[in-house]
Chain A
């Protein structure tokens, strides 16, 4: 969290420097239009504020660093796909860190190995972690449809526009993604 030093009061409105606004007008317009959907996606995948704030920031920084200003439609597609990729990368980092620091059980266990979380909450957390891993293992084209459709809450028409595929394909991809997810989760629970 390198941006922790620039924390501001939560209710202060967003102020933008005039020259930066001119240079990145398209990016701010995109943030205003699609920011809520992107944040929703990140929140539903990552589930904690610190990660969501960092991922959101990274997402727009990645777009700001692009060589060429994209067209409006392209920019929207770039934003969602970049957000999906960044979210997955956060999950991978988290997984690596978890491997390093010990299993999820250990994080919430006391010195005697007894869980500090209620059993139900612990199971839910485990299930969500497995879901994240399964989403990570999906092919990118299926994963992007699932994330934009379910996690951002976009309609199939919008999914199709954003990902540059037709509506029927988006629906088929989403169904395929769910069947694959179920298989991956079953394999995961079996192993």
Chain B
């Protein structure tokens, strides 16, 4: 504190809070109502702090004056006797005040967080919203956990299910309700908390026996998708990819066959 430059009058001194804190600390002034030499040095040079400290020093002096008063031993004996008699008489109060207004002191003044909050007041807003924050964290954790569970459960391949669905459910419109020219987009229905995609088929689906055979292992006709928008976009992407691959294979006159030769030896044997 030796690099003290005098601050101009009425300006805000950045050390004001420190000065007041020092002056308010009974351990730093050691009951003498006199600030430490560092504070004294600053006060000698800083008009702002000097003015701000005057009221504080006056308060210190007033407090010291009040605290200097000590009750006599006789008063203590008298007080003990009267309190004892009152307790023995069934805890009879003086009735000078309404004792029911005095709270039952069963609670601490502050939680352990208070010491941190006193030192870091800027995080108080976080502490005050701690319940909302905790609830959000729990909610996010639950959502994340359920998403993980969903992945680990090993849901069947959506694309395969979708392709199978499209192929296995030919267009069977009721006779009294023929389809219009325009194909309405599939609308999901909610059943039992899960989304079920409508099984309205795509407009032009060519049946492919090869692909049908390869999809034979795909399970039952259950088509329950947790999030239809995501699943639909995934399905359409995979469908586009598989269609493109199929057309490429047809163009290059290659057949998709499980017995197609893989090794060069097998390939040459077939050519022969």
Contact = CB atoms under 8 A, between A and B. Distances in A.
A141 B94 CA distance: 26
Contacts of B60: 178
B25 A2 contact: no
Interface stretch (B105-113, B148-156, B239-247): B105-113
A174 to B, nearest CB: 7
Contact of B67 (A44, A66, A85, A168): A44
B97 interface: yes
Contact of A62 (B58, B75, B80, B99): B99
B59 A89 contact: no
Nearest to A140: B109
A58 B99 contact: yes
A165 B114 contact: yes
A8 B80 CA distance: 12
A57 interface: yes
Given A52-B71, A58-B97, A165-B115, A66 B108 contact: no
B256 to A, nearest CB: 75
28 contacts: A1-B96, A10-B74, A16-B84, A35-B80, A40-B70, A44-B66, A47-B66, A47-B69, A52-B75, A56-B83, A57-B93, A58-B99, A59-B83, A89-B98, A141-B110, A150-B26, A151-B66, A151-B67, A163-B109, A164-B108, A169-B114, A172-B119, A175-B25, A178-B23, A178-B56, A178-B63, A181-B59, A186-B55
Contacts of B101: 89
Interface in A133-191: 140-141, 144, 149-151, 153, 156, 163-166, 168-169, 171-179, 181-183, 185-186
Contact of A78 (B55, B95, B105): B105
Contacts of B74: 10-11
Nearest to A167: B115
Contact of B118 (A59, A62, A127, A169): A169
B104 interface: yes
Interface residues of A, number: 82
A31 B83 contact: yes
Interface in A2-32: 2-3, 6, 8, 10-17, 20, 24, 27-28, 31
A95 B5 CA distance: 47
Given A179-B20, A181-B63, 11 more contacts: A35-B83, A52-B79, A54-B96, A57-B94, A58-B94, A61-B83, A61-B93, A127-B62, A151-B66, A169-B114, A174-B24
Contacts, number: 209
Interface in B154-178: none
Contacts of B55: 182-183, 185-186
Interface of B: 20-21, 23-27, 55-56, 58-60, 62-63, 65-67, 69-71, 74-89, 91-99, 101-106, 108-110, 112, 114-115, 118-119
A61 B56 contact: no
Contacts of A93: 96-97
Given A62-B102, A164-B110, A168-B115, A39 B65 contact: no
B75 A90 contact: no
